[in-house]
Amino acid sequence: MPIQLDHVIVPSRDRKAAARLLASLLDVPWSEDTPAGPFSPVYVNDGLTLDVGQIGEFSMQHYCFRVSEAEFDAIFARLQAKGIAYRSTPMGEVDMQVRTGQGGGRNVYWSEPDGHAWEMLTVSYARRPSQEA
């Protein structure tokens, strides 16, 4: 079996609000609590859970989702409908632009609610098609 990332802890000031928002943007299920600890899990897909934990102090993290063109359009529409500011660069100013030209795909970044750099893209710039399994 290839190695797979099963879950990751995402620090938050309000775990339930952060999990609810992320799940609504991605249109995936979530839960207020889990028996695995003080987390609000977001079930991204059958193989990945983001365990949102309430932590006082934390540094900004970067999380990126590779999605299809149709998923990008749907998530982007929900981002806009919620009035969430977005940008075309990971750490730059809010420019309300989608980045294009990254190997033929699109990507966009947002930072709600805890200042993390959330990204979604349609073509991975970290992996070229010949590298993907």
- Shared domain check, 80 and 28: no
pLDDT score of 106: 95
The string of pLDDT tens digits covering residues 33-55 is 887 789 999 999 999 999 999 98
Query: 118: buried, middle or exposed (CB in 10 Å: 19+, 13-18, 0-12)?
Result: buried
Domain boundary, last residue among 21, 40, 58: 58
Taking a C-beta distance cutoff of 8 angstroms, is the pair 116, 60 a contact? yes
- Shared domain check, 50 and 68: no
The string of pLDDT tens digits covering residues 15-38 is 999 999 999 999 999 999 887 789
pLDDT score of 36: 75
**Packing angle of the helix pair 15-26, 69-81 (nearest 10 deg):** 130
